[in-house]
Amino acid sequence: MLSLNNVSVAYQKSEAVKDVTFELGVGQIGCLLGPSGCGKTSILRAVAGFEKVSEGQICLRKKLVSSLYSHLEPEKRRVAVVFQDYALFPHLTVAQNIAFGLHHQSSAKKRQRVTELLMLVGLSGYDNRYPHALSGGQQQRVALARALAVKPDLLLLDEPFSSLDSELRDELAKELRIILKHENTTALMVTHDQHEAFAMADVIGVIDEGRLLQWTDAYALYHRPANRFVASFVGDGVFLSATIDNNIRLNSSLGVFPINPDSGFKQGDKVVFLVRPDDIIHDDESKTLAKVVDRSFKGSHIMYQLELQYVSHPRVLCLALSHHDHQMNELIGIRLDLEHLIVFTDNGDDV
């Protein structure tokens, strides 16, 4: 449905997006994930046709819509956009907002489509209400229904949950995914929140400083990050220093671990390896002790920051069930579950 090939976007000769390439299949939900100002919204705007590309090509349904010398106007792309502020018309009812783009259909077909969408987004009976009488979550559903009404080839979502509280975000992200899958709608969203990305997307692209660093599913981003930025941005974790010994093993303050012999590391290399909270298992029977230096209660679990009892005193994170309720400065037993090591060179370069 959508393909970008070496796309760059520049504002006054300053590149906001650099050499971005990815594809999105029919019915897939994609997400561009990254910090504020990384260029993800510029990519979305270029796909919509609001921005012209300075290099590369954008194709929809295998048809060229953007290049340096060609630009199809937004209204001709069959692309719908749900904006960050929803952009509902305050003087129109919910039904009128949803039907706004159905200009060339009969009144009966408009009513049928509006009724169908209100049921789909869980707002049956809200036809005659106005946007100001709706909650933020309800306004988001109306904006989605309005975008889906015209059955676009591609739906673009710009930080769709940013104005909602965190609990409602997770709930609506899951609901929105169900709705899009029901309609077999191809969608691309942008967000800085990894939890939204994981809840919504089939495939996720991590963006930093205008570059696409990795385009894959959530599992691969978490367990097989392409570089240190992706590893640190996706999920919680800490990097610990280590060296490669004469048997090409990783020698660290946590112990000695085997690594992939084809990794390219050699004896004496200085490296860092990623330790996730789920790599550190709370175990009262373990003789390996760590001191609680910080704790964050999360309901069913507690996230502990632990200081290992070694000379260098490195700190790690441990997500433990909350009935293991330990206090500050308490020593607790831990064991390691480092089945798959994520290792990078210590100078920040990726290997």
Predicted pLDDT at 346? 79
pLDDT per residue, tens digit, the chain (351 aa), is 999 999 999 998 789 999 999 999 999 999 999 998 999 999 999 999 999 999 999 999 999 999 999 999 998 999 999 887 778 899 999 999 999 888 788 889 889 999 989 988 889 999 999 999 998 888 888 988 898 888 899 999 998 877 777 777 777 888 889 988 988 999 999 999 898 899 899 999 999 999 999 999 999 999 889 999 999 899 888 888 889 888 888 888 777 888 877 778 888 889 988 888 988 889 888 888 899 999 999 888 999 999 987 656 688 899 988 888 899 999 999 888 877 788 888 765 443
| Phi, psi angle pair for 153, to nearest 5° | -70, -30
Contacts of 313 (CB under 8 A, 6+ apart): 307
Strand, helix or coil at 179? helix
CA distances from 10 to 38, 53, 310, 350 (A): 13, 7, 50, 27
CA distances from 123 to 2, 134, 214, 336 (A): 31, 10, 37, 49
The pLDDT value given to residue 351: 39
Residue 93: exposure state from Cβ atoms within 10 A (0-12, 13-18, ≥19):
middle
**Cα(342)–Cα(280) distance, integer angstroms:** 15
Rounded Cα gap, residues 77 and 278, in angstroms: 45
Q: Domains of the chain, with CATH numbers?
A: 2-78+152-232 (3.40.50.300), 236-345 (no CATH)
Distances (CA, A) of 84 to 138, 140, 275: 14, 9, 35
- Read off the pTM: 0.85
Are 129 and 118 in contact by the 8 Å Cβ rule? The answer is no
Could you tell me the CA-to-CA distances from 161 to 33, 117, 200, 312 in Å, in that order? 14, 20, 11, 42
Ordered strands of the 343-345 beta sheet: 255-258, 249-252, 238-244, 270-275, 343-345
φ, ψ of residue 329 to 5 degrees: the values are 70, 0
7, 6, 86, 87: which is closest to 46 by C-alpha? 7
Q: CB atoms < 10 A from the CB of 351, how many? A: 12
Q: How far apart are the first and last CA of the chain?
A: 33
Here the tokens at position 253 are 């303050």
Residue 226 sits at φ, ψ, to 5 deg, of -75, -25
Q: How far apart are CA 307 and CA 19, in angstroms?
A: 42
| Separation of alpha carbons 298 and 187, rounded Å | 32
pLDDT at 350: 44
